[in-house]
C-alpha cells in the first residue's frame, strides 16, 4: 500500500476511537515513527510499502521499513486507547518552540498562548522580572523569555520532575534568561526579602473534582494534581490572588488562566483583593480565558 493509504487507514481507526484530529494525529505519529518531516511525508505520499491490507503488510519492505511500520502500529494502538500524542512523541510545539513533554506535566495547549500574549502586552519596558507559577514544562516562561531577552524570567513548580523538564527545555532551546526552581507556590521565595516582579503569571489547577471532562480526552492521562483544585476549582486561583501582592512591584500585574466559565468569579476575587484595572482576555475561541489585575503597593 502507499503511504497515503497507510495514513488513511490509521486515520479511520483514530476517528472511530474518538480522536478529534485523526489525520493530524496519524501524520504526527508517522513522522515520529519514521524520523521523517512533513515535507517528506507530502512528497512521498504515493510511495508503496508492500503488503496488501492494513492487517497483511508482509511484503518487500526493508528491515528499516518494517521496524518503522511496527513502531507506527504501536503508536496508533496507544492513541486508539486515548494516550495523548504529546506523551507518545515526547514533545509538543508551543509558541513556535518545540518542548519536551512528560506524563509528570500538563500538555501545553494553544489556549495558554493567550496568557503569553497578555503578559507581553504588559511588558513594555526593555527589562524587568516575570514569575511563572506552576511552570510545568516551562512553556509560558520560555515563550515569554524568548520574546523578551532583556527580562529575567523565573519559573517555579512544586514537582521536581517538572522543574527538571523545564530546565531541560531551556537548555535545548538555548534560552538563557529563564531559570527554574522547586517551590510550593511562593514558598521558596519567602525565606529572603521577596523580589518584586513586574509580572506574575500562572496557569494553575482550576477544574472541579466533579467535572465530567476529567474522564474525556487527553486529560485522562495528565497529572490530576495539575488539573484539579478544591472549592469547585477556585482554591488555587484564590490563593494566588490573595498572596501575590507582596511579590509584585508597584503597578505590577497578576495574570491568571482559568476555565471559560470562571472569569466573572476571578474578576470578583481580584476586585476584592484590591487589584485595579481588572479585566479578562478572550482566547481564539472567544472564551474569557485569562483574567488580570494591577497591584498598587502600599
Annotated binding site for substrate: 203-206
3-class state of residue 25 by DSSP: helix
Which phi-psi region, left, alpha or beta, contains residue 9 (left: φ > 0; alpha: ψ -120 to 50)? alpha
How far apart (Å, rounded) are the C-alpha atoms in residues 78 and 25?
12
- Residue 266: closest CA among 203, 179, 223, 193: 203
Pairing outcome for strands 248-257 and 288-295: antiparallel
> Distance of alpha carbon 291 from its chain centroid, rounded?
18
Residue 291 near residue 279 (C-beta atoms within 8 A): yes
> What one-character-per-residue DSSP string does 114-148 give?
HHHHHHHHT--SSS-EEEEES-TTTHHHHHHHHH-
Which cell numbers hold the place of 151?
527580562
| Positions at the binding site | 134-138, 157, 185, 203-206
- Residue 252: closest CA among 219, 274, 229: 274
Number of C-beta neighbours around residue 264 at 10 A: 11
Residue 10 CA: distances (Å) to CA of 21, 251, 256 = 12, 53, 38
| Positions at the binding site for S-adenosyl-L-methionine | 134-138, 157, 185, 203
Q: In what order do the strands lie in the sheet with 197-202?
A: 178-182, 152-157, 129-133, 197-202, 248-257, 288-295, 276-282
Which cell numbers hold the place of 154?
523565573
Amino acid at each position: 500500500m502507499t503511504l497515503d493509504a497507510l495514513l488513511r487507514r490509521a486515520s479511520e481507526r483514530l476517528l472511530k476511537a474518538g480522536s478529534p484530529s485523526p489525520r493530524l494525529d496519524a501524520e504526527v505519529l508517522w513522522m515520529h515513527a519514521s524520523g521523517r518531516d512533513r515535507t517528506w511525508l507530502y512528497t512521498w505520499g504515493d510511495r508503496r510499502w508492500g503488503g496488501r491490507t492494513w492487517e497483511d503488510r508482509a511484503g518487500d519492505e526493508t528491515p528499516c521499513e518494517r521496524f518503522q511500520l511496527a513502531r507506527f502500529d504501536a503508536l496508533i494502538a496507544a492513541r486508539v486507547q486515548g494516550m495523548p500524542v504529546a506523551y507518545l512523541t515526547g514533545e509538543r510545539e508551543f509558541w513556535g518552540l518545540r518542548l519536551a513533554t512528560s506524563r509528570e506535566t500538563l500538555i501545553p495547549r494553544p489556549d495558554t498562548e493567550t496568557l503569553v500574549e497578555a503578559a507581553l502586552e504588559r511588558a513594555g519596558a526593555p527589562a524587568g522580572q516575570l514569575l511563572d507559577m506552576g511552570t510545568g514544562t516551562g512553556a509560558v516562561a520560555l515563550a515569554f523569555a524568548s520574546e523578551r531577552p532583556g527580562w529575567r524570567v523565573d519559573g517555579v513548580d512544586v514537582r521536581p520532575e517538572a522543574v527538571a523538564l523545564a530546565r531541560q527545555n531551556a537548555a535545548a532551546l538555548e534560552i538563557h534568561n529563564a531559570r527554574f526552581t522547586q517551590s510550593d507556590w511562593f514558598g521558596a521565595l519567602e525565606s529572603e526579602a521577596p523580589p518584586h516582579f513586574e509580572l506574575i503569571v500562572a496557569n494553575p489547577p482550576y477544574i472541579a473534582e466533579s467535572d465530567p471532562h476529567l474522564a474525556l480526552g487527553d486529560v485522562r492521562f495528565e497529572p490530576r494534581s495539575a488539573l484539579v483544585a478544591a472549592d469547585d476549582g477556585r482554591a488555587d486561583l484564590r490563593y494566588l490572588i490573595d498572596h501575590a501582592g507582596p511579590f509584585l512591584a508597584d503597578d505590577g500585574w497578576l495574570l491568571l488562566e482559568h476555565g471559560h466559565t470562571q472569569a466573572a468569579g476571578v474578576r470578583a476575587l481580584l476586585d476584592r483583593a484590591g487589584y485595579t484595572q481588572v479585566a479578562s482576555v478572550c482566547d481564539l475561541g472567544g472564551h474569557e480565558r485569562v483574567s488580570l489585575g494591577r497591584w498598587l503597593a502600599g
